[in-house]
């Protein structure tokens, strides 16, 4: 049997009822055979500060970087804030870009976004791709998953209720797993 692909998943939304968190939980359930999705919370990461870094990288940041190193691939599901990347997510990526060992460099990744707007976060995805280039994350280009009008795609418990979105997420996970196996 092929080796399991371990995907580390996170979002830039801290909101309890977040559609992006809900989309990650859906991805966890939809993961194809041989793929395991682990979701982590970015809430505990302090704001990046070079002074803090010089004093000694906080344990919570070291733990975050270790989780990235241990993962075969990353899945980022992000809201769009004012056409761009939420600060929580950018902050996490900034921490991950630092140090002698930059855990993100060369790591396969996939992006999706959920938004209450009609574009589903398309603008944030292209900003995020630009940042991922700086980090040398190897982000797959297709399929693109934009969850538009997210408030209509999940029930009150945050369960995904839209079949087309479920199919898109499944396709994305399959493509990410294939891409990750090619990189190994
Ligand atoms: C500060 C802020 C800025 C936002 N800007 C955008 C935006 O540029 N485009 C968009 O589609 N939605 C925007 N929204 C609406 C988000 O899509 C919506 O709040 C969404 O539910 C956030 O994701 P979450 O449910 O995962 O927290 C914004 C929301 C906030 C709080």
User: Which pLDDT does position 184 carry in this prediction?
Assistant: 87
Residue 5: exposed, middle, or buried by beta-carbon count in 10 A (0-12, 13-18, 19+)? buried
User: Which residue carries 């280009």 as its tokens?
Assistant: 141
Tokens of 155: 């029930």
Write down all domains in the chain, each with its CATH number in brackets: 5-183 (3.40.50.360)
Q: Is 146 in the pocket of ligand 1 (CB under 6 A)?
A: no
Whose CA is closest to atom 3 on ligand 1? 81
Ligand 1, pocket-test mutation among 116, 154, 160, most atoms within 8 A of CB: 116
CB atoms within 10 A of CB 14: 12
Distance CA(161)–CA(101), nearest Å, equals: 41
For 160-176, the DSSP string reads B--HHHHHHHHHHHHHH
The predicted model scores a pTM of 0.97
Nearest Cα residue to 135 out of 96, 86, 175, 79: 96
Over its length of 184 residues, how does the chain's per-residue pLDDT go in tens digits?
A: 678 999 999 999 999 999 999 999 999 999 999 999 999 999 999 999 999 999 999 999 999 999 999 999 999 999 999 999 999 999 999 999 998 878 899 999 999 999 999 999 999 999 999 999 999 999 999 999 999 999 999 999 999 999 999 999 999 999 999 999 999 8
User: Which pLDDT does position 86 carry in this prediction?
Assistant: 98
Distance CA(123)–CA(126), nearest Å, equals: 5
Helices (H) and strands (E) in the chain, counts: 6, 6
CB 111 within 8 A of CB 81: no
Whose CA is closest to atom 11 on ligand 1? 117
Distance CA(114)–CA(9), nearest Å, equals: 14
Ligand 1, pocket-test mutation among 79, 84, 119, most atoms within 8 A of CB: 79
User: pLDDT of 8-43, one tens digit each?
Assistant: 999 999 999 999 999 999 999 999 999 999 999 999
Whose CA is closest to atom 28 on ligand 1? 81
Q: Is 80 in the pocket of ligand 1 (CB under 6 A)?
A: yes
Q: Which atom of ligand 1 is nearest to the CA of 20?
A: 26
Q: Is 82 in the pocket of ligand 1 (CB under 6 A)?
A: yes
């Amino acid at each position: 049997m092929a080796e399991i692909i371990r995907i580390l998943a996170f979002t830039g939304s801290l909101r309890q009822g977040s559609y992006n968190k809900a989309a990650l939980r859906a991805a966890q359930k939809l993961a194809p055979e041989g793929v395991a999705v682990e979701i982590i919370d970015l809430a505990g990461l302090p704001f990046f500060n070079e002074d803090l870094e010089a004093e000694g990288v906080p344990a919570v940041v070291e733990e975050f970087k270790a989780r990235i190193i241990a993962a075969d691939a990353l899945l980022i599901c992000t809201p769009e804030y004012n056409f761009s990347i939420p600060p929580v997510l950018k902050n996490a990526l900034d921490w991950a870009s630092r140090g002698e060992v930059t855990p993100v460099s060369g790591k396969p990744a996939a992006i999706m976004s959920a938004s209450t707007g009609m574009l589903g976060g398309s603008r944030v995805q292209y900003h995020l791709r630009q940042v991922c280039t700086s980090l040398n994350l190897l982000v797959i280009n297709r399929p693109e998953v934009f969850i538009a009008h997210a408030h209509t795609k999940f029930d009150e418990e945050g369960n995904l209720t839209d079949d087309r979105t479920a199919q898109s997420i499944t396709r994305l996970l399959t493509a990410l797993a294939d891409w990750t196996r090619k990189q190994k």
